[in-house]
A = this chain, B = another copy of it.
Amino acid sequence: MKIPKPTVKRLAVYYRCLDNMLNEGKTYVSSKELAERLKIKSSQVRKDLSYFGEFGKRGVGYNVKNLIAELKKIIGIDRRWRVVVVGAGNIGRAITNYPGLYKNRFDVIAVFDSDPAKIGLSAGVAGPVKPMSDLKEVVSSKKVEIGVIAVPAEAAQDVAEQLVDAGVKGIVNFAPVTIDVSPEIVVEDVDITVSFKTLAYHLRKYGKNR
């Protein structure tokens, strides 16, 4: 069955929300409660989940722990993923040491940079920064599936090609350019400034109406 793209994004949101609810001590939750917390409709929640199976009990709701476990399987985080980061600048280092990534089962196992001055500097959890010449060896020997591009726009395409050549299957691209790779590689683009710009757009609009 074809899954709507927005549904896939929301699965991660449900997972996060349920995790918070579990911490609050909730054992059961209804689609209504979940929807209210996320400011969406309860029928949306039920529809999204229904693409993947029947996880609730009529009249009762969903068992929080159980639904979390099911979502882990659906999202693909019932296992750990190995990640390398290219670029030891602000973004690269923040990603590498972001506890939320490890918590969500992504292990950054190495950080690379082309700047000789940065090689050997500590990159926190991922040990010292490694030279680009080590990339291929590390990716293949450690069976790394995901590469993160955290370099300036000019270098992004070249880094993308090196990552693909080294053998990663997916790329998270923080560089502000569209990269061009073969279609079997999954690419997720993240532009940190987009949310600020969207905010500016809405703030401006509100201002105009006053």
Contact = CB atoms under 8 A, between A and B. Distances in A.
Contact of A90 (B74, B98, B146, B202): B98
Contact of A12 (B74, B93, B197, B205): B197
B199 A172 contact: yes
Contact of A199 (B74, B146, B176): B146
Interface in A1-31: 8-9, 11-13, 15-17, 20
A206 B169 contact: yes
A194 B98 contact: no
B196 A76 contact: no
A178 B35 CA distance: 12
A201 B11 contact: yes
Interface of A: 8-9, 11-13, 15-17, 20, 37-39, 74-77, 81, 83, 90-91, 93-95, 97-98, 100-101, 104, 106, 145-146, 153, 169-172, 176-178, 184, 186, 188-206
26 contacts: A8-B201, A9-B194, A11-B197, A12-B193, A13-B191, A13-B194, A15-B197, A16-B176, A16-B177, A20-B177, A39-B178, A75-B197, A76-B203, A76-B204, A90-B97, A93-B94, A98-B192, A101-B196, A104-B197, A106-B196, A106-B200, A169-B203, A170-B200, A170-B203, A172-B196, A188-B196
Given A37-B178, A76-B205, 9 more contacts: A12-B194, A13-B194, A16-B177, A74-B201, A76-B204, A81-B203, A101-B193, A146-B199, A172-B199
